[in-house]
Structure 1
Amino acid sequence: MAEKNFLSWVGFKGEDESKPAPTQNALDRIRELENQLNDLRSRRDITGLSREEFEILATETAMTMIKSAQQREAKANSAAQRIVNETTRSTKEKLEAAESKAKSILSSAESRGRKYISAAEDDAADLILTAESEADELLNQSAREAAQLTAAAKRDAQKLISDAAKNIVDYRSWLSSAISEAERLHRAQNSSLNAAEQAIAESRQKLKHAFDRLSQLQADINANLDADSKPVGKVFVPGAGKKAEQAAARKQKAANNKNKATKKKTK
């Protein structure tokens, strides 16, 4: 059941065992199997499978092809045996008919007279000889056809098995190459990401430094301007903003201390 589900998952419909075994066009069947394999490759994205799934897919496909070849060989042997049996039965029937006809001729000849007995015996012998020759010819022809079918089935099976083994080796080689390339790309991607992160960190540091300088410059400009946005002095004093911030901080601290002292006296 698991094998049927797996074959259905990869898109392989299998063969109908109730159909009679083909007796010719074995090469056409091989081409059909190759087309089915190509169709599987086109419909499934095997690059997305893991190593285990890919090996299972390749092994199951090869085993299916091997089983199909073995079934075709067994069916060919069965067909050959059936042909031999039918030919033997037909030959036996012809011999029996010939003997019956010969006996009938002999009986008729005896009833007409002894003078026809010799001729009737000769005719009977000729009929029997002809029937035996035809039977031998049919048996030989059937044996040749059976041997040809068996040999063709064995050749097809061997070719399918060798092709399946070669495909498995090729798939494993390709998979190893794909894994190596994926690892190389992963390392390159990690290196690029690390470099990008480092560049982002440096850019953030530069932006922070520039922002601090701009903030300091804004404070210096505000410190060198009065409430009417006019210069306090004739010369721009750098660092005045920082000094103003320090003075404002001291003033705020003194105000806080004064408020604390006032609250203590109130209590």
Structure 2
Amino acid sequence: MPDLQGLPIEASAFLLLFARVGAVLMLLPVFSEEAVPGRIRLMIAFGLTLGLWGLLSPYALPAAKDTTALPGLILVELATGLGLGALVRMMFLAMATAGSIVSLQIGLTSAIVADPAQGGQASVVSKLVGVAASVVCMGLLVHHLWIAALVRSYASFPIGGVPAAGDFSALAVATAGRSLALAVALSAPMIVYGIVFNVALGLAARLAPAIQIFFVAQPVNLLFGLALLATLLGAMLTGFAEAMTQWIQTGWG
């Protein structure tokens, strides 16, 4: 007969691991999209926890021995997972923010579509580059780094220790600043293009005030802007993937 005395402790340890892993996947890019059914996400979280059991069980088994503290530990793990997943989501939104800046420069801010990932509506360009960033991250295996950072987080935020609010606050502020800086850097060529085009447009309006310059120049702005975006999109996505890789290796976990 197999020895089942340790089974309750191992089951409790698995539940602790599943709480953090599942909470992270609720906010992790690609995995948390509404296009992925809830049951599929649940099975991904269960399979990922099972696959990482050999690496993470030493962190969970000691904490699982205290059965009286188990409900509180589960709540703490859920909060920790949501916090870590929110950090990755915040950094990932840099590409969508860059797309919004590009839309502003080429005059496509009024062309909007529903985007649950951004909590409402987003411009077409922002949605496009967001989907492209997801494809590039999956193609370049950046999601493997997300999982590796999740494993490292158990050393930074161990089970049974309540993370200090200041730690998460500092991480959130630093991540928000880095995400915004990355968005501006990625869209910098389009910002320069917008400044140059609008200055030229203003000069043309001063030289020929009787002509409706805006209606004449807007199609040209769209044509040149979309052509420049098509030229730069590959470099933008590559730079985003590199920045995400560098950040996930140094900034989280």
Q: TM-score of the superposition, structure 2-length normalised?
A: 0.24
Q: Which has the larger radius of gyration?
A: 1
Task: Name the one with the larger helix percent.
Answer: 1
TM-score (structure 1 length as normaliser): 0.23
